[in-house]
Structure 1
Amino acid sequence: MRTIRKTNNLNQIKFANIIGISQGTLSELEQDILIAVKENFNSHIEWWLIFGDTPVAIEPTQ
């Protein structure tokens, strides 16, 4: 997300408004939160990003 935002010369506030999320959420997403969730919960991030929910219940990896 950071790369897309910077390529388009947008600050976090403007980019967040365009995609319909808060600046705080964008900041968290740009800090690799999604990667941490994927790695620790064996989650299907692609599914979650597209549909807003995971297809199955997931448990943290140990």
Structure 2
Amino acid sequence: MIVNTLGERVKMVRKRNKLTQVDFAKILGISQSNLSEIESGKSKPSIDVLISLITQFEIDLQWLLLSEVTSCKTEIAKDEMELIRSYRKLQDIAKEEVLDFVNLKLARYRRK
């Protein structure tokens, strides 16, 4: 599916992940009104917002900017989004502890 504008592609990502403008804007670190302007084509997203989109939602940059790839790579489940939101609220030391815990769990499951 080809979507003509950057704003339409941003909106497509949001809708495919079943997020409201408010929730999607929070994830991207922008206001809901800024997101609305981006989706309607009234303004362009900042580099930071573009980076957040491609990393958090595993979006192909070429598709996002130029609509030259067929679609978004994957969708993020609601529980995964909640993990991301919670992780972002942690202090750096707590984030390190979370990563250590995840790595420990991965190591245990690899041994089985």
Tell me the TM-score normalized by structure 2.
0.31
Structure number with greater Rg is 2
Can you list the C-alpha shifts for 1:1-60, whole angstroms capped at 9, x where unaligned?
1000000000000000000000000000000124xxxxxxxxxx7xx8437xxxxxxxxx
- Coordinate RMSD, CA, aligned: 2.0
Paired amino acid for 2:47: I
Tell me the TM-score normalized by structure 1.
0.54
Which residues in structure 2 correspond to 1:1-62 (within 5 Å)?
1-34=10-43, 49-50=46-47
Question: Which portions of structure 1, spanning 4 or more consecutive aligned residues, are displaced by more than 4 angstroms?
Answer: none
Paired amino acid for 1:18: I
Residue of structure 1 in register with 2:59 after alignment: none
Provide the rounded CA distance (Å) in 1 between the counterparts of 2:46 and 2:25.
Answer: 15
Residue of structure 1 in register with 2:65 after alignment: none
Structure with more relative contact order (C-alpha pairs < 8 Å, separation 6 or more): 2
Provide the rounded CA distance (Å) in 1 between the counterparts of 2:47 and 2:27.
Answer: 17
Q: Secondary structure at the match of 1:33?
A: coil
Gaps of 5+ in 1: 35-44, 52-62
Gaps of 5+ in 2: 1-9, 49-112
Aligned residues: 39
Report the structure, 1 or 2, having the larger helix content.
2
